[in-house]
Each structure stands twice: as C-alpha cells, then as structure tokens.
Chain A
Amino acid sequence: AQSVTQLDSHVSVSEGTPVLLRCNYSSSYSPSLFWYVQHPNKGLQLLLKYTSAATLVKGINGFEAEFKKSETSFHLTKPSAHMSDAAEYFCVAPLYNNNDMRFGAGTRLTVKP
C-alpha cells in the first residue's frame, strides 16, 4: 500500500537561504506524487506534481522536487526562501485502489527575517 512520510514536522530557515522539505514514500510501483502548500486559514494549493515524465519537477514560486526511485524520496527544495513561503507543506500520493489520496503529516516551514 502507498504511504507517505514527511521526515520533519517543522523546518526553520532564514530568508534567502535554501529550503529542503523531505518526503519518503513506499510503493511497489512508480507513483504519482504531489506537493501542496497551505497558508494560514487557507485551503491547500498545488505546488507541483510528479507523473514519471521527468524526475526533476518544477513548480510554482520557485519550488522544485526530485523523484529518486532508488531512495524512494520526493524532497521539495527552493534555492532561496522568501518570507511568503512560510506555510505548511504536504507531500501527497494517490491511492489507486480506493480513489483516495494519502497525505503526509505535514511540515511547517518558518522563515526568519
């Protein structure tokens, strides 16, 4: 069964420094994977999606993620954090057998001035 593990519940960075949010997945086949962002008191917004067309996926707001099958990872990165990046980030995998989505527990990103 597909499962998603976000390795950090909270990440704190300084403005202008790189961001790394880690996600591992477990699956017996190459999955589709998503990263969503949730700003305070808002719904989730799609950042990017991996669909096996390319292992490096570029998303909105300068984020990108690399799918590494050998490491079963799909980490989210950004070269330079901005204050507006402060939010909660979710790694998500579809569950093909029951029309559901498996959400990671979330990583809260804090950006310090």
Chain B
Amino acid sequence: NAGVTQTPKFQVLKTGQSMTLQCAQDMNHEYMSWYRQDPGMGLRLIHYSVGAGITDQGEVPNGYNVSRSTTEDFPLRLLSAAPSQTSVYFCASRQGRYVAQPQHFGDGTRLSIL
C-alpha cells in the first residue's frame, strides 16, 4: 500500500523560481490537502480539495496554487519562491468530506529557498 506519495523529498530553490510539489494517493480519497510545517507552529493548511475539480483556500494560501484534475493527484505550485516559503510541506488525504475523520499523510517535501 503506497498511501500518500510526495515527490520530491528534498528541493533547494533560488528566490523567484517556480516549482511544483507532487502528491498522489491510491486510496480513492475524496479529500486532499496541503500543509506547511514550521518550527513551533504545528501544521497550517495551505489549500484543500473536496473532490476532482474543487479546491479552496486554507489558512495560509498566499504564494501557492493548486488544481485537482483527478481524484488521485493534487499538485502544489509555488509561483515565485520566497525565503518565507522555506518549510516542510505535507500532503494529506481522507476518505470523505467530514472534517472529523483522520487523515493520511505523506512523508513530506523539505523545501529550502535561498
């Protein structure tokens, strides 16, 4: 069982560059989300999707774009990387739209912006 797969695991970017963080799940989950993890702040929601073709903003969406063309994939795009976006990024999914269901997390992408 692959679960939630994130690529790449590590990435270093220069300020102003763009890139896409990939996320795929093989559990046929409706709901997918992106979080960033910063020291002492837990995880904060960037964007989420309740199904193919439907996305919405979370707590910290600025500087990020998402799309959901299939149930399986939910890529996160950094349009113009800034040092403040240095963080660890986690993709997660859950079976349904009900928020009180547990989520399955990928292993993260560690991103450094120079």
Interface residues of A (CB under 8 A from B): 9, 32, 34, 36, 41-46, 49, 51, 90, 94-96, 99-101, 103-106
What are 9 A-B pairs with beta-carbon distances under 8 A?
Answer: A34-B102, A43-B108, A44-B105, A96-B100, A99-B56, A100-B99, A101-B43, A103-B44, A104-B42
Minimum CB distance partner of B102 in chain A: A46
User: Which residues of chain B are within 8 angstroms of A51 by Cβ–Cβ distance?
Assistant: 100
Known contacts A44-B90, A51-B100; decide if A105 and B41 are in contact (CB<8 Å): yes
Q: Which residues of A contact B103 (CB under 8 A)?
A: 44, 46, 101
Chain B: residues with Cβ within 8 Å of the partner, total of 23
Within 8 A of A (CB), among B66-114: 90, 92, 97, 99-100, 102-103, 105-108
Decide yes or no: A103 and B90 within 8 Å by CB, A43-B105, A43-B107 being known contacts: no
Residue from the list A34, A41, A99, A103 in contact with B42, Cβ < 8 A? A103
Bound CA–CA A49/B59 (angstroms) = 23
Query: Would you call B53 an interface residue if the criterion is a C-beta within 8 Å of the partner chain's C-beta atoms?
Result: no
Q: Is B4 an interface residue (CB 8 A)?
A: yes
B99 near A95: Cβ-Cβ < 8 Å? yes
CB-CB under 8 A from B100, the residues of chain A are: 32, 51, 94, 96
